[in-house]
Each structure stands twice: as C-alpha cells, then as structure tokens.
Amino acid sequence: MKKHIIQTVLPVMLLLIAVFFIGAGCTGTDPDGQSWYLDNDGDGYGTIEDINWHAPPQPAGYADNSNDCDDTDATIHPEATEVPDNDIDENCNGLFGITFYKDVDGDGFGDFNESAVYEVNFGDTPPDGMVYNNADCDDANAMINPKADEILGNNIDDNCDGDTDILEYYKDEDGDGYGAGSVLPPPAVGVHNNLDCNDANPEVYPYAIEVENGVDDDCDGITDELF
C-alpha cells in the first residue's frame, strides 16, 4: 500500500507543483505579488502606461489601480466631482458636466432660474424639456422669446430685448429667424432682432448648438467650445 501511494500520489503532486511555478513564470508576474501603478499626481489613481510589478506592501508613490485619465492633475480621477461648464472630464467617465435650462413652454429658450447639470458628450442634444440657453424672459409663454415678434400696445417685451412695444425690423437674409445690420426703414418688414453674427448661414445663430467645425455656431465669440 505504501509503495502504491508513493507511485501515484507523489508524481501527481510534483506535476501540480511544476505547473504552478512554470505557469507563474510564463505570466511574468509574482503570484503572491500585486500590480502597482505610478501615481504622479498623488490622487490615489495611476495609469496603465506606468505599470510596475511589486510584492506587497504598496510602494510610496504608487496606486493599486490604473483608472486615472490625467495623472498630472490631482483633481481629475474617477471619484472626482464633475465641475459643470468647462471642457474637462473631472471624473474620467468620458462625459462633461453642462448646465441645461428648463424650457417649460417649449419655445426653444430656457429659464435662467430653472437649471440642472447633466453629463453629456460634446454636441449632444439636450435632455427632454431642457435647452442649452437661458435666454427666455417668460418661460410660461411660448410667444415670448428672443425670436418672437414684438407686438405694439400690449405692454410686453415680446422678444426679450429689454424694450417694450418698440417695433423695429431687421433683414434676415438666411431665414433662420435672426436678423443683422441696421434697422430697416418703414414700410420694410423682417425680424425683430439683430442678433445674427452670420446672416448668410442659416446654421449659425445665437443659442445654436456649438459643433467642432471651426465656426462660431452660436455667435458668442468663441469657436468650437464645449457648451
């Protein structure tokens, strides 16, 4: 019986031991060790580009994960708080925090006093019931907004330009609802604002969604900004 055990059990044990050590050698890692990643900014998160193999304990200046998307800034890491309205992805999820404004009356213009921050990609359409701008001066009335016609005699600033019952017309060459140039003399007709920065392009007007195209799409003086 003793001879039988030695002949059967011992070879099996030797085989298991050989597989264990040879297998570990093939991976290039210490089976009892830990992968540590250089953490340049000291925020507790490293990057996959800077990998070092160490046995415990954790070496100074290294982290046990490689999830940092910017290892030069300690305010940027997966657990960071997303700061709205900039071009930085603070929490490394591939999205950006942007302030959107509630558009109760559905006229495409938002209420300055009703906002919420959402994380989106560059150029995404707004969440339902929200818009990028806060240009509405009365979000309970769809007939009152920057593109509306000013109506004389109603004691309302219909087009949100700060003037009440002042009827002025501007030429709108591209038909996007936004005019440009000087006030047209009567009996000319047109639109009641001169907010357009490019009246030859209907895709360019105030409050448009900015896209990466080398053009100031929303007429704010900045090209290809995130929000």
pLDDT of residue 6: 42
Q: How many CA atoms lie within 13 A of 119 on its CB side?
A: 12
Confidence band, pLDDT 50/70/90 cuts, at residue 9: very low
Q: Could you read off the pLDDT of 56-72 as tens digits, one per residue?
A: 788 889 999 999 999 99
Say what the pTM is. Answer: 0.76
Q: How confident is the model at residue 209 (pLDDT cuts 50, 70, 90)?
A: confident
pLDDT interval class at 8 (50, 70, 90) = very low
Environment class of 50 (CB within 10 Å of its CB; exposed 0-12, middle 13-18, buried 19+): middle
Q: What is the mean pLDDT of the chain?
A: 86
SS3 label, residue 39: coil
Dist. CA 54–CA 38, nearest whole Å? 11
Does the pLDDT value for residue 44 go beyond 80? Answer: yes
pLDDT digits (tens, 9 = 90+) for 125-148: 999 999 999 999 999 999 999 999
Query: Looking at the predicted structure, is the pLDDT value of residue 32 above 90?
Result: no
Backbone angles phi, psi at 165, to 5 degrees: 60, 35
Average pLDDT over residues 73-79: 97
With a pLDDT cut of 90, the percent of the chain lying above it is 69
Confidence of residue 33 (pLDDT cuts 50, 70, 90): low
Looking up tokens 């009246």 gives 199
- Give the whole-angstrom CA distance, residue 161 versus residue 25: 74
226 has pLDDT over 80: no
Write down the pLDDT at residue 199.
Answer: 97
Grade residue 87 by pLDDT with cuts at 50, 70 and 90: confident
Between 15 and 147, the more confident residue is 147
164: pLDDT strictly greater than 90: yes
pLDDT, residue 183, reads: 95
* Bond into 31 cis (ω within 30): no
**Three-class DSSP category at 136:** strand
> What CA–CA distance (Å, rounded) separates 202 from 177?
9
- Decide if pLDDT at 30 tops 60: no
pLDDT (0 to 100) of residue 227: 58
Burial class (CB in 10 A: 0-12, 13-18, 19+), 114: middle
